[in-house]
Each structure stands twice: as structure tokens, then as C-alpha cells.
């Protein structure tokens, strides 16, 4: 029992106030508006099934195959309709999604027309075709059965009047046939009428169930999960975002390097010059010395800060050169082999650099290695960065050796990180980043 308002028919059906709520009417509106669509589709289905029906008919009635020209004609019609199905299904699906709003308040993804070829290639297109078959084939049968039940119930309820009217003719012993018997007089028909009235809520529920069933089928076939094209779009836009972020980092680094750093250096220099002219015994000497020291400390800090934003070596030397600098600075022996041609995308360059930086850091911190090797190469569509060491191995991303953060960073650049690190080593970190030729 949900206290808040139901969002769709199936929820409403489970509530006690179903019969007196607006929901049954919505269900009814849904059912009634289905009829013309299902009717048209049923005809289409008949056209598709026509050759089979014609053949069956010919065998049953004449015991021989049907005429070839007729069969050809029917087959061409059938195949044409079948071939058009994915195109026809698009507008139908649009209408059906809109109609689903009658019985289901939950939002639906709105698919766009992605071109003719996509209708035949995408799973979503064929799911819509499958729905056409449901609507043209199964729905009419269910609707007929339901309509029959409704008509029977109306007969039951109306039976006293029918009996009364038929007996109003003198000398006429007309009988009114109700479901499982006949009645002669209005009085005899009353129990049937009572049963009929009692059946109304049952039918009310049945209508709800039928509509809910159909809505579930619609949701299942038409409200499909977002397909790969859209996912690619999402990933691309994330990559765009990261690229914008990289460009921003570069701008900040440049501003600091070209603006703030030289000014701070200049300030420190001026303080240094001032100290030359201030005697040791001057009261200004000490605060000046402190200011000078602080400015020097700030220079170091700012340098590290800028380096963290975007390593200058990357700007100046490119990836291979910057990686060699990293190798130079590492306390273990690192050999670098680079086989790169062409201009790297900025985001790939920085990501690769930080991968090497972080991986070498891990080698030093955790691996207890004596040697490491960095290989940069270009495959068909990727930049491949491999960092291997002869350390103790057993690197475990779940133990948080910075590997997961690295993987996140790589993923943001639309790449992937692979790790092989058996106990006792060797460890290999391999990163593939998209670098289209």
C-alpha cells in the first residue's frame, strides 16, 4: 500500500480505491484509443500472413497448391509490408510512447530519428517492429475476448428488461437466452441481473489489467535502455569536458609561469638586494632576512604548485622528453624507449605523463625494484604506455596503491588501464589511450 499517489497503472491497481479513482477511466481511454491502431496493424499482419493463409486455404478446399501468380502477388505484398515494418514502426512507436502517458506518468526516453539505415541496424528499431506484431496480432485477440465478456455482462444486466419486453407481446412465449440458461419472465431474470451487476467491478479490474499488461509490453519494448550510440555520445562529451579542463590547466600554468613566478622571483631579488645595503646591526636587518626567507620558500612552493598543475617539461619537451626527465629523476634505474610520431592530443599527453609519473612512484614506493622500463609506442588507434619493473609484484588495486585513481584518470581520457602483477613480480602496467591516426 503506497501512501503517495500512484505513478502508473500497475501501482494504482494494487490500491484499495482503484474502483473509485480516475485510473479505470484512464485505462479505458487507453484501451479505446488502442483499437484503431491495433485494427490497422492487424490488417498489415494479415497482408504479411496472406501467402500462408492462401496456401492453407487452397489445400483445404481444393487439395492442391494455389495459383503461382496469386502466390507471387501475395508474397511480394507480404515482403513489402515486412520490409517497411521498421520504418512504419517509428511513427507508431512515437504515438504509442505518447499514449503510454495515459496510464503511466513515468518519463520515457525520446528516441530521435537517426536515419533510415539505423532503423534496420539498431536493436531498438527491431524491438519496435516486435511491438508492432504484438499490437497487430496479440492485442486484437485479447480485445475481442474482453469485448465478448463485456457484451455478455451487458446481456446479464439487461436480461430483466429484455425478458419483460419480450413477454409484453401477448401470446408470445419468447425466451431470452442468458449465459447458461433461458428466462421467460423478468422475475426469473433478476438473479442474472444481480450477478451481472456484481461482475461490473470484476470487468473494471480486468480492463485495468489488460491496459496495464499492454503498458508493460510498451515499456519493455519501446522504453529500451539507452543504446550504444547515445553512450558513445556521453563518453565523448565527458572527454570534451576533460579536454576543456586540460586546456584550462594549461592556461593557469601559463599565467602562473609567465606572470606570478617571475614577479615573485623579482620580489625575492629586490629583497636580496635590500639586504646587501642593510647593515647587520640595523633593526631592519632581521625582518628583512625573514621576509627574504619567506619569499624564497614561496618560490619553491609556487614552483611545485605549477608543476602539479601541468609539468613544464611536458610543455617544453613533449611526452618522450618529459618522460625521460622523470626517468632521470627516479632513484632507480629507468630505461625509456619511445617510438612516437605525430602530434599527441593534449589530454592524452598529460594523462600519459601522469600515468608514467604515478607508476614510477609506485615502483619506488612499493615494488622494491632495482630496474624499471618505460615504453611509449603507437598502435593503430592508440598510444600505448607500458611501465614494467623487476620488483616484488603483487600490486593490488583494491589495496589502494594509487592504481584506482590512475585508472579513473585514464578512463576520463577514454582509455583503459591493464595490470599484471603476480606475486614475486614482474609488474607491468599497460595503458592504452585513444590516438586516432
Partner 1 sequence: MAAVTRVVLAEDEVLLREGLVALLTRFDFTVCAAVGSAPELLDAARTHQPDLVLTDIRMPPDRRDDGLRVAVALRAERPRLPVVVLSQYVQTGYAAALLDSGDGQRVGYLLKDRVAEVTEFVDTLRRVTAGGTAIDPDVVRQLLHRPRDPLRALSAREREVLALLAEGRSNASIAARLHVTEAAVGKHVGNILLKLDLPPSDDTNRRVLAVLTYLRADPAG
Q: List the grid coordinates of 154.
A: 451487458
Cβ atoms 121, 78 nearer than 8 A:
no
Q: For residues 274, 277, 282 and 286, what is the CA-based torsion angle, rounded to 10 degrees? A: 30
Nearer to partner 1, 1 or 300 (CB): 300
User: Which CA distances in Å does 284 have to 3, 5, 291?
Assistant: 77, 77, 11
Closest CA relative to residue 114, chosen from 87, 152, 85: 87
Nearest distance from C-beta of residue 287 to partner 1, angstroms: 17
State the nearest-atom distance from the C-beta of 224 to partner 1, in Å: 51
Taking the complex as a whole, how short is the minimal distance between the CB of residue 405 and partner 1, in angstroms? 24
Contact assessment for residue 92 and residue 126, using Cβ atoms and an 8 Å cutoff: no
Summarize as ranges the residues that interact with partner 1 (CB under 8 A). 254, 257-259, 261-263, 265-266, 268-273, 275-276, 292, 295-296, 299-300, 303, 307, 312-313, 315-317, 321, 324-325, 328-333, 335, 370
Q: At closest approach, how far in Å is the CB of 423 from partner 1?
A: 25
CA–CA separation, 397 and 134 (whole Å)? 49
> What residues form DSSP beta bridges with 183?
176
Q: 91 or 262: whose CB is closer to partner 1? A: 262
Minimum distance from CB of 325 to partner 1 (Å)?
6
277 or 341: whose CB is closer to partner 1?
277
Tell me how far, at minimum, the Cβ of 348 lies from partner 1, in Å: 19
Closest alpha carbon to 417 in 314, 427, 309, 426? 427
Take residue 350 and report the three cell numbers written for it: 598529460
Of 108 and 285, nearer to partner 1 (C-beta) is 285
Please classify residue 106 by burial: count the beta carbons closer than 10 Å to its beta carbon, then call 0-12 exposed, 13-18 middle and 19+ buried. exposed
Q: Torsion-angle region of residue 169: left (phi > 0), alpha (psi -120 to 50) or beta? A: beta
Pick between residue 269 and residue 418 the one whose CB is nearest to partner 1. Answer: 269
Nearer to partner 1 by C-beta: 26 or 292?
A: 292
Q: How far is the CB of 112 from partner 1 (least distance, A)?
A: 44
Burial (CB count within 10 angstroms: exposed 0-12, middle 13-18, buried 19+), residue 266: exposed
Nearest to partner 1 of 70, 320 (CB atom):
320
Q: Which is nearer to partner 1, 2 or 337 (CB)?
A: 337
Angle of helix 346-362 relative to helix 312-329, nearest 10 degrees?
A: 20
CB of 273 vs partner 1, minimal distance in Å: 6
Amino acid at each position: 500500500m503506497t501512501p503517495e499517489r500512484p505513478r502508473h497503472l500497475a501501482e494504482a491497481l494494487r490500491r484499495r480505491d482503484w474502483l473509485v479513482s480516475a485510473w479505470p477511466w484512464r485505462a479505458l481511454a487507453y484501451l479505446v484509443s488502442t483499437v484503431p491502431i491495433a485494427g490497422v496493424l492487424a490488417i498489415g499482419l494479415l497482408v504479411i500472413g496472406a501467402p500462408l493463409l492462401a496456401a492453407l486455404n487452397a489445400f483445404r478446399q481444393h487439395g492442391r497448391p494455389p495459383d503461382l501468380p496469386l502466390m507471387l502477388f501475395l508474397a511480394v505484398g507480404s515482403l513489402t509490408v515486412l520490409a517497411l515494418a521498421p520504418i512504419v514502426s517509428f511513427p507508431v512507436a512515437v504515438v504509442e510512447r505518447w499514449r503510454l502517458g495515459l496510464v503511466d506518468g513515468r518519463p520515457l526516453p525520446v528516441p530521435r530519428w537517426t536515419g533510415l539505415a539505423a532503423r534496420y541496424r539498431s536493436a531498438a528499431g527491431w524491438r519496435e517492429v516486435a511491438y508492432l506484431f504484438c499490437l497487430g496480432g496479440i492485442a486484437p485477440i485479447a480485445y475481442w475476448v474482453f469485448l465478448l465478456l463485456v457484451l455478455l455482462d451487458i446481456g446479464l444486466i439487461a436480461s430483466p428488461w429484455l425478458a419483460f419486453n419480450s413477454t409484453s407481446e401477448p401470446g408470445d412465449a419468447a425466451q431470452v437466452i442468458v449465459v447458461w440458461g433461458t428466462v421467460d419472465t423478468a422475475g426469473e431474470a433478476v438473479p442474472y441481473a444481480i450477478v451481472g451487476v456484481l461482475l461490473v467491478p470484476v470487468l473494471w479490474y480486468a480492463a485495468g489489467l489488460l491496459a496495464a499488461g499492454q503498458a508493460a509490453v510498451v515499456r519493455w519494448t519501446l522504453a529500451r535502455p539507452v543504446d550504444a550510440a547515445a553512450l558513445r555520445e556521453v563518453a565523448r562529451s565527458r572527454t570534451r569536458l576533460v579536454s576543456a579542463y586540460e586546456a584550462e590547466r594549461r592556461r593557469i600554468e601559463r599565467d602562473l609561469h609567465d606572470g606570478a613566478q617571475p614577479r615573485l622571483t623579482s620580489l625575492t631579488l629586490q629583497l636580496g638586494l635590500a639586504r646587501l645595503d642593510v647593515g647587520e646591526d640595523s633593526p631592519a636587518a632581521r625582518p628583512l632576512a625573514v621576509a627574504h626567507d619567506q619569499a624564497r620558500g614561496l618560490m619553491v612552493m609556487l614552483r611545485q604548485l605549477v608543476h602539479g598543475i601541468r609539468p613544464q617539461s611536458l610543455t617544453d619537451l613533449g611526452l618522450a622528453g618529459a618522460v625521460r626527465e622523470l626517468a632521470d629523476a627516479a632513484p632507480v634505474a629507468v630505461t625509456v624507449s619511445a617510438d612516437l610520431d605525430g602530434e599527441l592530443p593534449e589530454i592524452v599527453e598529460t594523462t600519459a605523463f601522469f600515468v608514467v609519473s604515478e607508476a614510477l612512484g609506485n615502483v619506488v614506493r612499493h615494488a622494491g625494484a632495482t630496474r624499471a622500463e618505460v615504453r611509449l609506442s603507437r598502435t593503430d588507434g592508440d598510444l600505448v604506455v607500458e611501465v614494467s619493473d623487476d620488483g616484488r609484484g603483487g600490486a593490488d588495486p583494491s589495496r589502494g596503491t594509487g592504481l584506482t585513481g590512475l585508472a579513473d584518470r585514464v578512463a576520463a581520457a577514454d582509455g583503459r588501464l591493464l595490470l599484471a602483477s603476480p606475486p614475486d613480480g614482474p609488474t607491468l602496467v599497460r595503458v592504452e589511450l585513444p590516438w586516432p591516426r
